[in-house]
């Protein structure tokens, strides 16, 4: 079973994914795959430096992620170009992981699950949601300026549409313990399906 986990920035996807992992699901975080593997791939680095010049790299030759984010979140065309460059590498990593453990229960964090039509990869889709005020407050606590948070949120499908398109919704407005209880129940239900 492969479950796609989505939701808005600051809604609690990572917290939910960790709770699924604690319940025995194998976890893949697409953002972590990009940070730790895709953006370290020499071919990806070469593509980025060709498009944006050497200023996109730090002194060690690694991608300067903050600079890259400033560029792509300010220009939809650049964001699309970046996704075209990086998404095939992410999908290859997913395939390799699933092939290693084809009978495992997987939880895969995918921020742009519906935006990119990726629901076909998953047996079930789960959306973690909360109110916009809670979302912005969480992002600010993480050190994301309100203007940047708003800019990034605007590049995603509205949360209401993610909720509508998901098979299951986890409302994460309360305590971590409440979210954990929701996931405990859902994990049992999914395994029985």
Domain ranges across the chain:
1-25+105-193, 32-104
Angle at 10 between CA 31 and CA 123, to 5 degrees: 60
pLDDT band for 74, please (50, 70, 90 cuts): confident
Q: CA of 8: how far to CAs of 55, 88, 136, in Å?
A: 30, 23, 10
When mean pLDDT is compared across 25-29, 145-149, 157-161, 181-185, the lowest value belongs to: 145-149
CA dihedral of 155, 156, 159, 160, whole degrees rounded to 10: 90
Rounded Cα distance between 144 and 166, Å, is 27
Closest CA to 57 of 65, 121, 183, 26: 65
Q: What is the DSSP string of 31-65?
A: HHHHHHTGGG-HHHHHHHHHHH-GGGB-TTS-B-H
CATH number for 1-25+105-193 (one of 1.10.3720.10, 3.40.50.10490, 3.40.50.300, 3.40.50.720): it is 3.40.50.300
* Per-chain mean pLDDT for the chain: 89
Interval 49-61: pLDDT, tens = 999 998 999 989 8
Residue 177 dihedral angles phi and psi, to the nearest 5°:
-65, -40
As a whole number, mean pLDDT of residues 64-91 equals 90
- State pTM to two decimals: 0.86
Interval 128-167: pLDDT, tens = 998 878 877 777 788 777 777 777 776 677 888 999 999 9
Residue 94 pLDDT greater than 90, yes or no:
yes
Closest CA to 189 of 66, 62, 23, 7: 23
């Amino acid at each position: 079973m492969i479950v796609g986990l989505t939701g808005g920035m600051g809604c609690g996807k990572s917290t939910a994914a960790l709770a699924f992992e604690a319940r025995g699901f194998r976890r893949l975080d697409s953002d972590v795959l990009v940070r730790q593997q895709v953006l370290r791939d020499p071919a990806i680095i070469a593509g980025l430096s060709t498009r944006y010049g050497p200023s996109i790299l730090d002194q060690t030759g690694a991608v300067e992620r903050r600079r890259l984010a400033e560029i792509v979140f300010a220009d939809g065309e650049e964001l699309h170009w970046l996704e075209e460059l990086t998404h095939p590498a992410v999908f290859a990593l997913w395939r390799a992981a699933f092939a290693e453990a084809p009978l495992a229960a997987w939880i895969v964090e995918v921020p742009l699950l519906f935006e990119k039509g990726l629901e076909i990869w998953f047996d079930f889709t789960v959306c973690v949601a909360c109110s916009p005020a809670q979302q912005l407050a969480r992002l600010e606590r993480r050190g994301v300026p309100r203007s940047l948070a708003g800019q990034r949120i605007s590049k995603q499908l509205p949360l209401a549409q993610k909720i509508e398109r998901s098979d299951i919704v986890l409302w994460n407005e309360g305590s971590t313990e409440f979210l954990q209880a929701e996931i405990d129940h859902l994990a049992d239900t999914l395994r029985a399906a």
